[in-house]
A and B are shown apart, each in its own frame.
Chain A
């Protein structure tokens, strides 16, 4: 049984069904990718897992414990930490303080263990923002802001890190630098689950891909098998790959 088990998860907004009974199991020791066209329910999936919205039906189990309907901060404290596409940082505060806030919060989750990063500077060095600690987060260029978003989430001490389109808006160079960062995480004991459209980015990172379309899972398997799945080519890639 994987760390995160999702069974028959449904979410409806009024009459619109965003998730129509999704079953997923996501481990916390490797990188798993979730792909799908716009409006396929990817971000809703993250929002329901992390407690932003309560599910309409189904269950979410994290390390054997049912967490569906819990408040976002409670879920985060259990080690399920996410990033956002837009709301990446605390814009009015210095970069260092952004990370420090999350480190202080994440430090409280350590149960006798040694923290991965002892200071904001150490973590900023790790994500490639060394020396930027005193900059105003809100005035940073977009690429750095994405890195800061990842740094803040890492500081909160995740067991499984949920990345919502981390490469959106990045240049190819910036995206591959970010990929170099993400690929190190499983080795440090941090599982990753990421959503993105950027196929080269995803195939470089993920051993396994899950494909969503109209709120249901249409494929789940190794990256190679999914990419050659005719159903996936049909709905997601418009029949050509």
Chain B
């Protein structure tokens, strides 16, 4: 009974920032609020290493950073266009293996491989997206899962070309302007820079007519076609964008870990990516980042072993889907607005 009651409330929570009265993201005061928040966040995060937080914390932060970049891709495709994938790690894998193979077979380093990783992952994203033009819903999710499993089989059976089950190694990133990326601090700032670009791009897409078009496709494909939107083209487009983000994340991952193997990109990592995006919420700007932070830092903060933390993620996912389908981010936003509303009412009472 309680559950059904909460289910009824879903649409309100689900809509997130673009669905509630008085929360128009385009109004000037909202925009200023958002920018102030983003700047504060960047300053805080950029200042973290100087607080002497230790290498362990920093390495988790790096993992969180590149995972979040990949999640922003999934966030666009799921949160905006409404198409979930449980094979997103495969896109990450395309980016990572492109970089590793270019390095091992052709001696091409990080900076030259960067665009190649992004472009190839984008193309792979578009190809995996093709069946979505015919198949939707649960059937399409199963297809993404199959593609991911297929990639792992191909990488494992690829002999010396892909390094087979043991995988491939890469060297360090060449210095730029004397910056040594072997230092964890500098790698942290590299990932942070990439994350900032990702966030800015996502913000621009979400608030553009392109973002609105994607949401139209999510909400009502038939009506979108009837008003002249080329639904098929935009679907492939969003899959390519999603793949591009994952490709960027993949190359950052391989040069951080220095060694990759097929299991990093299989079914399980894909499921965790889907889990993180659901947990954080795909529709709001900070949702994927929140999902990545929770999943990567939770075991550390709560001192959980890997087995317990996985159980905890799973339980958290069930709770989020049943009670908070917009993810933790929409819950936080609702609390923020509620507190804000309370303060405004208190203030106006005091003023009168």
Contacts and interface: CB of A to CB of B under 8 A. Distances in A.
A202 interface: no
Contacts of A125: none
A93 B228 contact: no
B50 interface: no
A73 B11 contact: no
Contact of B11 (A77, A92, A94): A92
Given A76-B226, A77-B228, A134-B22, A101 B212 contact: yes
A89 B215 CA distance: 12
A76 B227 contact: yes
Contact of A73 (B18, B212, B215, B229): B229
A84 B226 contact: yes
A44 interface: no
Given A97-B212, A136-B11, A152 B227 contact: yes
B226 A106 contact: no
A34 B23 CA distance: 42
Contacts of A77: 228
B264 interface: no
Contacts of A90: 215-216, 219-220, 223-224
Interface of A: 50, 52, 71-73, 76-77, 81-84, 87-94, 96-97, 100-102, 104-106, 108-109, 134-136, 138-139, 152-153, 155-156
Given A50-B226, A92-B15, 8 more contacts: A72-B225, A93-B219, A100-B212, A101-B209, A101-B229, A102-B227, A105-B227, A135-B21
Sorted from nearest, which 10 A-B pairs have the closest CB atoms? A90-B219, A76-B228, A156-B227, A72-B225, A77-B228, A134-B21, A104-B209, A102-B227, A101-B216, A101-B212
21 contacts: A52-B222, A71-B230, A76-B227, A81-B227, A89-B223, A90-B219, A90-B220, A90-B224, A91-B219, A92-B19, A93-B18, A93-B215, A93-B219, A97-B212, A101-B213, A101-B229, A102-B227, A104-B212, A134-B24, A136-B21, A156-B226
